[in-house]
Amino acid sequence: MTPVILLVEDEPAIADTLAWALRSEGFEPCHVATGGEALARLAQGGIAVAVLDVGLPDLSGFELCRRIRAQDAALPVMFLTARSEEIDRVLGFEIGADDYVAKPFSPREVVARLRVMLRRSGALAAPAQAVPGLQLDEAGARILHAGHPLPLTRYEYLLLRHLLKQPGRVFSRDQLLDAVWGAGSESTDRTVDTHIKTLRAKLRAVAPELDPILTHRGMGYSLALA
CA distance 195 to 151: 13
Residue 47 CA to residue 3 CA, distance in Å, equals 7
HSE-up (13 A, CA, CB side) for residue 156:
17
pLDDT tens digits for 186-202? 778 889 999 999 999 99
Q: By percentage, how much of the chain surpasses pLDDT 70?
A: 90
Whether the pLDDT of residue 130 is over 60: the answer is: no
For all residues of the chain together, what is the average pLDDT? 85
Q: What is the largest CA-CA distance in the chain?
A: 61
In angstroms, how far is the first alpha carbon of the chain from the final one? 16
Q: Which long-range contacts (CB under 8 A, 24 or more apart) does 131-134 make?
A: 131/164, 131/167, 131/212, 131/223, 131/224, 131/226, 132/226, 133/207, 133/210, 134/164, 134/210, 134/212
- DSSP letter for 221, please: E
Q: How confident is the model at residue 128 (pLDDT cuts 50, 70, 90)?
A: very low
List, in order, residues 6 or more apart from 148 with CB less than 8 Å away: 206
Calculate helix-pair angle for 189-206, 154-165, nearest 10 degrees: 90
State pTM to two decimals.
0.56
Q: How far apart are CA 183 and CA 118, in angstroms?
A: 20
pLDDT of residue 127: 47
Phi, psi of 118 (to 5 degrees): -65, -40
For 183-186, the CB contacts below 8 A with 24+ separation are 183/108, 183/109, 183/112
